[in-house]
């Protein structure tokens, strides 16, 4: 890559910015950010790259454009850059769901321009450029979406880019991606939000102070439930079909578990609890989490 434009410089955009700069992946890095508040922070942090006020300037001078905005911004931005962009420029993004955004891209992006979607499995509950880190994507999975329009040459360029960033790359279709992450990411977030909401409802109803006793489990969920609301609204709306199915599967299991508790079905409950325990070991073995008890937080 010669020049790279990052559109949207929050947690992940600024992490990419730091990483691209540190690893000297681009000749020039341009940053387009619409929030004045974020721009002030970027300047204060003395982040690398050049903030461009004109989207046009960034677009026409870049070989790779990375959308790091909420997914609900894509359409508006596509319409702005459509007539500026050359067919040599590759576009990607870091959105967490893929089928709906691929429809937006198909429908609104000028033909002949390549947008190959990426999804780096990285992030945290905090937002904003001040929380970005240059090693955010190091040893993390990055899913790249391949469909019938994907040009191999560009796919290879993108794979090379993410590998330089330090990610482990896997290529799959949007349908498979959205199914997998409905279970491993979207459902967990949705459940966390709802669990915290249920605790709030209960607290109101009973007039108990209960949040102060959240160290027994609730606090773990509250972390995920503190994630960026715009980002997660977009994910929930975009992947609603798969997420709905995931909710149904989950509620089915929950009701069965409830029955087992009420009937004191010892055998069934123990079998479930022992089975789920094994997943933790697999996750640690797969290096998807640290192996210290309690996330090493105490």
Residues 28-57 that bind its own copies (CB under 8 A): none
Closest distance of CB 134 from its own copies, Å: 12
Site for its own copies in 108-147 (CB under 8 A): 121-126, 131, 133, 140-141, 143
Kindly give the residue spans of alpha helices, DSSP state H, lying in the chain: 11-22, 36-44, 55-60, 74-81, 99-108, 152-165, 174-181, 187-206, 218-224, 229-238, 240-262, 266-285
Closest distance of CB 223 from its own copies, Å: 6
Query: Which residue lies nearer to its own copies by CB, 152 or 274?
Result: 274
Note whether 229 and 125 are within 8 A (CB).
no
Note whether 92 and 65 are within 8 A (CB).
yes
Query: Which residue lies nearer to its own copies by CB, 152 or 275?
Result: 275
> Around Cβ 78, how many Cβ atoms within 10 Å?
20
Site for its own copies in 84-113 (CB under 8 A): 96
Closest distance of CB 213 from its own copies, Å: 5
Q: Is 73 in the site for its own copies (CB under 8 A)?
A: no
- Report the SS3 class of residue 120: strand
Report the alpha-carbon angle 86-75-134, nearest 5.
Answer: 75
Sign of CA dihedral 237, 243, 247, 250: negative
Closest distance of CB 28 from its own copies, Å: 29
Note whether 3 and 61 are within 8 A (CB).
yes
Question: Applying CB under 8 A, what is the total number of residues that bind its own copies?
Answer: 103
As a whole number of angstroms, the distance between CA 70 and CA 182 comes to: 18
The conformation of residue 271, written as its DSSP 8-state character, comes to H
Ramachandran quadrant class, 126 (left: phi over 0; alpha: psi -120 to 50; beta: rest) = beta
Site for its own copies in 218-257 (CB under 8 A): 218-227, 229-230, 232-233, 236-237, 240, 243-244, 246-247, 249-251, 253-255, 257
Closest distance of CB 87 from its own copies, Å: 33
Closest distance of CB 171 from its own copies, Å: 14
Q: Which of 45, 79, 151, 270 binds its own copies (CB under 8 A)?
A: 270
Closest distance of CB 277 from its own copies, Å: 5
Q: Name the nearest CA neighbour of 188 among 143, 230, 236, 145.
A: 236
Which tokens belong to 47? 């982040």
Site for its own copies in 176-215 (CB under 8 A): 176, 179-181, 183-202, 206, 208, 210-215
Q: Give Cβ neighbours of residue 82 (< 8 Å, ≥ 6 apart).
A: 108, 109, 110, 113
Closest distance of CB 175 from its own copies, Å: 11
Query: Which residue lies nearer to its own copies by CB, 56 or 133?
Result: 133
Query: Which residue lies nearer to its own copies by CB, 153 or 215?
Result: 215
Q: Which of 24, 88, 148, 277 binds its own copies (CB under 8 A)?
A: 277
């Amino acid at each position: 890559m010669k020049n790279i434009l990052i559109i949207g410089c929050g947690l992940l955009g600024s992490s990419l910015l730091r990483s691209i700069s540190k690893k000297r992946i681009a000749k020039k890095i341009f940053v387009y950010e619409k929030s004045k508040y974020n721009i002030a922070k970027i300047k204060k942090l003395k982040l690398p790259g050049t903030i461009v006020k004109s989207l046009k300037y960034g677009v026409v001078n870049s070989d790779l454009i990375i959308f790091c905005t909420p997914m609900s911004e894509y359409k508006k931005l596509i319409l702005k850059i459509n007539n500026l962009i050359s067919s040599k420029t590759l576009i990607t993004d870091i959105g967490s769901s893929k089928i709906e955004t691929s429809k937006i891209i198909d429908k609104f992006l000028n033909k002949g321009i390549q947008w190959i979607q990426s999804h780096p499995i990285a992030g945290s509950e905090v937002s904003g450029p001040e929380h970005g880190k240059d090693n955010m994507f190091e040893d993390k999975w990055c899913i790249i979406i391949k469909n019938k329009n994907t040009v191999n040459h560009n796919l290879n360029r993108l794979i090379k880019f993410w590998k330089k960033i330090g990610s482990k790359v896997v290529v799959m279709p949007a349908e498979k991606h959205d199914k997998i992450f409905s279970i491993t990411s979207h459902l967990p977030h949705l459940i966390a939000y709802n669990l915290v909401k249920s605790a709030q409802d209960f607290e109101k109803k009973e007039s108990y102070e209960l949040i102060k006793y959240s160290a027994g489990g609730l606090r773990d969920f509250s972390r995920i439930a503190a994630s960026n609301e715009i980002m997660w609204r977009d994910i929930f709306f975009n992947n609603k079909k798969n997420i709905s199915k995931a909710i149904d599967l989950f509620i089915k299991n929950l009701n069965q578990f409830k029955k087992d508790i009420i009937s004191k079905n010892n055998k069934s409950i123990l079998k479930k609890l022992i089975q789920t325990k094994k997943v933790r070991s697999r996750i640690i073995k797969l290096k998807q989490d640290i192996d210290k008890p309690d996330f090493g937080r105490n």
